[in-house]
């Protein structure tokens, strides 16, 4: 078996509680993430993911949240330099938003795509560029995992039990083998794990 290294990598990044949830049952309640998202390990983890990437792949809700927040911090006093660098990258990079309801992109350098996620990724991988990164867009990542299109899994594990909420890894995913690429831990107990898909 070999690592997937040919062409553009599809990188899926997600935050989890120890008990395996990526969100609380209450919609849009992401306050549990904030104490850990501002740690050095989380910021360095994020930087390691966007730096080699030239395309951000987003679901509509994810895009609205990201583009509603990140551009607003650019030039703000007291902002961590890693956060501002990510915000500038997000504004400047190619963004592909998967949506069946949007027709026009309200953001610069953004394409709206209304087709199955796996097909959209196949088209992106056939073009030149760096990594294709998906940040915390569960619907997109679930579809890519089901189609075995993820080349790198980047997971942040936060030391908290949510007790309930949606999960990313559901029964029925294709069997696959992964190799640990990097690992690091933070001062708040957060753990960053990066796994590469091993393919025949």
CA distance 16 to 22: 5
- Report field, pTM of the whole predicted structure over 0.85: yes
| 32 in Cβ contact with 24 (< 8 Å) | yes
Residue 197 has what pLDDT? 97
Residue 68 has what pLDDT? 92
For CA atoms 106, 100, 144, 25, the dihedral sign is: positive
Which domains are present in the chain? Answer: 2-199 (3.40.430.10)
> How crowded is residue 123: how many other Cβ atoms within 10 Å of its Cβ?
12
CA distance 13 to 37: 13
Per-residue confidence at 26, pLDDT binned at 50, 70, 90?
confident
Per-residue confidence at 93, pLDDT binned at 50, 70, 90?
very high
Query: Nearest 5°: phi and psi at 92?
Result: -85, -25
């Amino acid at each position: 078996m070999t690592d997937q290294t040919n062409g553009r990598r599809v990188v899926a990044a997600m935050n989890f509680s120890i008990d395996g949830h990526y969100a609380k049952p209450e919609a849009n309640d992401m306050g549990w993430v904030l104490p850990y998202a501002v740690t050095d390990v989380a910021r360095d983890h994020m930087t390691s993911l966007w730096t080699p990437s030239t395309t951000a792949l987003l679901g509509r809700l994810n895009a609205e949240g990201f583009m509603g927040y990140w551009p607003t911090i650019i030039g703000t006093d007291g902002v961590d330099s890693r956060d501002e660098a990510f915000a500038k990258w997000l504004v400047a990079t190619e963004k592909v938003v998967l949506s069946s309801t949007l027709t026009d992109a309200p953001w610069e350098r953004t394409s709206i795509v209304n087709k199955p996620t796996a097909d959209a990724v196949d088209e992106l991988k056939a073009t030149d560029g760096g990594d294709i990164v998906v940040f915390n867009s569960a619907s997109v990542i679930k579809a890519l995992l089901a189609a075995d299109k993820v080349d790198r899994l980047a997971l942040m594990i936060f030391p908290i039990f949510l007790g309930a909420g949606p999960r990313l890894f559901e029964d029925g995913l294709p069997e696959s083998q992964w190799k640990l690429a990097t690992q690091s831990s933070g001062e708040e107990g957060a753990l960053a794990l990066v796994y590469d898909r091993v393919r025949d």
